Structure 1
């Protein structure tokens, strides 16, 4: 059947459809679970701090495994690893749905995360290898649209499922999608050609995972533990030591998990660093804007969701267009303009006040969505085109790692700045009034978003320095 499909003129778009299924499922699940945390906390007789690990464990596992599963795709074959991703994710979803304790739920979320990592790391590699150079920007832009639609649909779908069924349904909904995706892998995705007979660097993978998990724990809980506490400093120090050992080890072995020479490619390194900064900047707003809208402006959750949907909607429209343009005019100008618009949108969002109009708030989010849409597709095109085909898997994994790492950094940075400035503003006031509390919040909120804007500007500078020359194919 595959041979017949491969003769079709639209075969590459069938491949895109399979990859889109996995991408949509992984991004939707990342945003759908937060809606179910309150009923999960009640149903499984736990507390918020413990229930939060349903989200935290998922994020930690995905982020730490992305380079490894990308490398496995390069060695074992991306078709095989992508199929394993669907199996792991679907099985994990089923087990999460029937879990009857918080411990089991967290454990099954880890299995789900392993599958999601395999999907995320290899998605861009499969798409990049299936389309010619002059169409990659367009198709990577369309992947950006799928990501936006998945993120956009998650909270709304989750709310409907929890309200009309139960929290179990937010996991069960993945099962038919996962089965459909696996069927697509089996019948549509081509078999990998000329796989490398190389050993898998398990020790390097273990060192990298340990380092990343330790560092992300410090970022995630630094505000709660205290940034100068022994726990936070210990986690960061341990992460740096292990990462140093990882680098030394990778330089010595013949077949490392991560080919460090790949970072000598300026277009690849600059693109990933700019991507990390873009997500860090973006998540200062993603984290704090809902609190501003609901706690300060007293907007209902539904209205808050509608306002924040302006960002992914504009991004979903812009991303394919910018991807097509990047195939024709290159990535440098588009990424630079995109990050500049994102910085401007963050400044406007930071300057919102209690009398801000609905149109101004939505306009600032639309501007950020425009900037992000202009940036992401050309940036991904630049990163993936900078490496050789044999490195597509690990390159896609690193690109996804930069994205997830930026999300965690942006969240931690926003919360830390907000809490520090709020505490400083209320210092010496034993019983602050409502106005004083609002003033204190606004001071931290504005400073956090302005720092995010500065990071976007730094991304502009880095983006300007990229070489932009594709690797020889």
Structure 2
């Protein structure tokens, strides 16, 4: 039988008895894989100086990681139907650990970028199947809480990444950002071999739609590059080329998958209203979050004259509150199974952004702090219900598909949100007669322009809530 199915886990099953250990292993693996992006971003100036290269070259340490990780989620998820999800997870973290060591001992920028791409491939394997393993190991009445914890884990990564990255870079050197993964990876490997044993029935033969995988990778890469060029706004020809390639590759992927007998991604899953609308809701919310997260510091520094450290402390409120709200939202969902839980949570986010837009316009710090707090709570309460609904929309043998599609579309939505925020801000400032550096635009211009964009983020959240409501009607 093709696909992956799992035996029922009961109270006497060894897998159930070690459930919390299994979940801890998965959470640590996902945490380390996501944390690495935040840590390395802080060290990019030091890495650029160390290798004596320009920023255009060194930024591939960050951009390349995002590109490879996002592009490989779905192909590697498909491959897990043959290897098994647990083997894919272990192989992914092994690759992540080895390539981390290689990154730390790289002697030039080309080597560092190459090993960083391998590290991203390992991270994609870990994150892509990690969500599926969490969902399958947790009992049905605990899944909302488990997905909430997953949201909390990624929030902690965002919270600690800059702090850990800055401290390690300053006191030990940027190389130790990678070396720190090695002992953790070895311990995780040992524990995974002992405890990560989930009954699985896998495909008897490995069948990969290589052409489908290629067109998908080209689409993801070209779309992310399109978003990057769109945000830059200075290279129209390059922008059009990337846009054309992304549209063409997407069309080729859809045609290929709809006609191929054993596709990389079964497009019929998108006929499932419950699954598709949960994905769309999540994408709209992620776009709003990414836009606010990206553009907020420009306002706080340019209009409010805060120092970067002060801005960082203010933004810490969001992941801090998410850490508490994510498990709470999942627990409430497990207990009451309120079908409008995700919509209610994203409406809190919408109110937070509307309040933030008003607070930015009035330059009211108290309201800004309150809006950031509501943002963190709304986002945290959303993670568990929407993640659970997304995963439960498809049958268990499609859990890897649900997980990888969720992570892929989430990453793409955040890239699109950042690009749109940049374009809108640049456009608004130009229509007001200003074309210089954003931070030098002046209090009034920044206040008016950024408030409008945050207001748009609020409307995106309202639309996300409407989609979540429609999903359950």
- Shorter-chain TM-score category? over 0.9
Matches within 5 A, 1:60-459: 60-198=67-205, 199-226=207-234, 229-330=236-337, 332-353=339-360, 356-427=363-434, 437-459=442-464
In structure 1, list runs of 5 or more residues that go unmatched. 469-473
- Counterpart CA distance in 1 for 2:195 and 2:110 is 37
- Counterpart CA distance in 2 for 1:434 and 1:157 is 27
Instruction: State the TM-score, normalized to the length of structure 1.
Output: 0.92
What's 1:471 paired with?
A: none
- Counterpart CA distance in 1 for 2:426 and 2:312 is 24
What's 1:460 paired with?
A: 465
C-alpha deviation, 1:316, in angstroms: 1.0
Instruction: State the TM-score, normalized to the length of structure 2.
Output: 0.92
Instruction: Confirm whether residue 26 of structure 1 aligns to residue 33 of structure 2.
Output: yes
C-alpha deviation, 1:280, in angstroms: 0.5
- Counterpart CA distance in 2 for 1:145 and 1:134 is 19
- Counterpart CA distance in 1 for 2:88 and 2:437 is 56
C-alpha deviation, 1:342, in angstroms: 0.8
- The 3-state SS of whatever aligns with 2:200 is coil
- The 3-state SS of whatever aligns with 1:255 is coil
Deviation digits for residues 221-276 of structure 1 (CA, Å, limit 9, x no counterpart): 2132447x121122111111111111111112221110111111111101111111
In structure 2, list runs of 5 or more residues that go unmatched. 1-11
Residue 141 of structure 1 contacts residue 322 of structure 1 at CA under 8 Å; is this kept in 2? Answer: yes
- Counterpart CA distance in 1 for 2:302 and 2:456 is 22
- Counterpart CA distance in 2 for 1:8 and 1:89 is 25
Residue 33 of structure 2 contacts residue 127 of structure 2 at CA under 8 Å; is this kept in 1? Answer: yes
- Counterpart CA distance in 2 for 1:397 and 1:59 is 15
- The 3-state SS of whatever aligns with 1:299 is coil
- The 3-state SS of whatever aligns with 1:465 is helix
Relative to structure 1, the CA distance from residue 348 to residue 195 in structure 2 (aligned partners, 3 Å threshold; closer, same or farther) is: same
C-alpha deviation, 1:355, in angstroms: 6.9
- The 3-state SS of whatever aligns with 1:351 is helix
Residue 331 of structure 1 contacts residue 381 of structure 1 at CA under 8 Å; is this kept in 2? Answer: no
Q: How many residues align?
A: 461
Deviation digits for residues 444-473 of structure 1 (CA, Å, limit 9, x no counterpart): 3222212211111110111011148xxxxx
- The 3-state SS of whatever aligns with 1:352 is helix
- The 3-state SS of whatever aligns with 1:200 is coil
What's 2:55 paired with?
A: 48
Query: C-alpha root-mean-square deviation of aligned residues, in Å?
Result: 2.1
Residue 250 of structure 1 contacts residue 258 of structure 1 at CA under 8 Å; is this kept in 2? Answer: yes
